[in-house]
Every structure is written in C-alpha cells, then in structure tokens.
Amino acid sequence: MSEDLKPFALVADDEALIRMDASFILSDAGFRLYEAANVEEALAHLERDADSIRLLFTDVQMPPSRQTGFDLARQCAERWPPVKILVASGQVDPAPGDLPEGALFINKPFSDQVIAARLKELLPDG
C-alpha cells in the first residue's frame, strides 16, 4: 500500500518509550502516526486532523493533565464518531461508563499480537 494511502493512528501516552512501542506496532500494522504526550496534545491533533485519523490509541493515566485517557476517549467518541478507540492501562481497569460505546480496552504490558487482535475487532474491514 502506498504510504499516502495508509490511514493515520493517534497514539497518546505520557511515557515516551511506551508511546514509541505502540507507534512501532501500529506502523507495522499499516498506520501512519501522530503522537501526543498528553490529553491536550491529543485533542489538538484531533481538532486539526480528525478527518485523517482512523484510530485513537490512548493510555489512561497521563499526568500532569487532570483529564484521563478515559476522558479523551469519551470526547473523541462524542466529537469524532468515525475514529475507533483503543484504551490501554497497566494500573486501571475500566469501570462501567469509563469507555465510550465501541471502544476497546487492553492491559499493559501489551504485545503486537494483542493489539493486532483488537484492531481486527475495531476495524474488521482492514
């Protein structure tokens, strides 16, 4: 697939190494990438580039922001419904109402196989 035909994913995680790992896995899965270190950066990307973003991959806890990845996921689902959402955390499990409808959750540490399986659920059309 031509590079300019690949969809974009937005990876939001405050930890640079985890953000890079997720970005590498998603790049291997066929995405071009935007990255954000916090909720505010992620929202700025979505405001600017939502028409090209097919997937939001977000961590739950992203200090120093008062907002969490759950907040980001809900705002994304409300404002940009075509964007699919995958939320990850190694410390927090979602409670009822944390995830918007259609969003999926994975535990950290994650593997490329786990992400690939979730992508097939979120994006069955490829």
Domains, in order of start, for the chain: 3-122 (3.40.50.2300)
Task: List, in order, residues 6 or more apart from 13 with CB less than 8 Å away.
Answer: 19, 22, 37, 57, 58, 59, 62, 88
Task: List, in order, residues 6 or more apart from 4 with CB less than 8 Å away.
Answer: none
Mean pLDDT of the chain: 94
**What distance in Å separates the CA atoms of residue 53 and residue 45, rounded to the nearest whole number?**
9
DSSP assignment letter at 29: T
Taking residue 38's Cβ as centre, other Cβ atoms within 10 Å add up to 19
* Three-state DSSP class for residue 83: coil
Judged against a pLDDT cut of 60, whether residue 105 lies above it is answered with: yes
The pTM of this model reads: 0.94
Judged against a pLDDT cut of 70, whether residue 78 lies above it is answered with: yes
The strand ranges marked E within the chain are 8-12, 32-36, 53-59, 84-89, 104-107
Q: Provide mean pLDDT across the span 2-17.
A: 89
Residue 5, pLDDT score: 78
Cis bond leading into 64, ω under 30°?
A: yes
Judged against a pLDDT cut of 90, whether residue 4 lies above it is answered with: no
- Looking at the DSSP bridge assignments, the partners of residue 33 are 9
Percent of the chain past pLDDT 90, that is, above it, reads 89
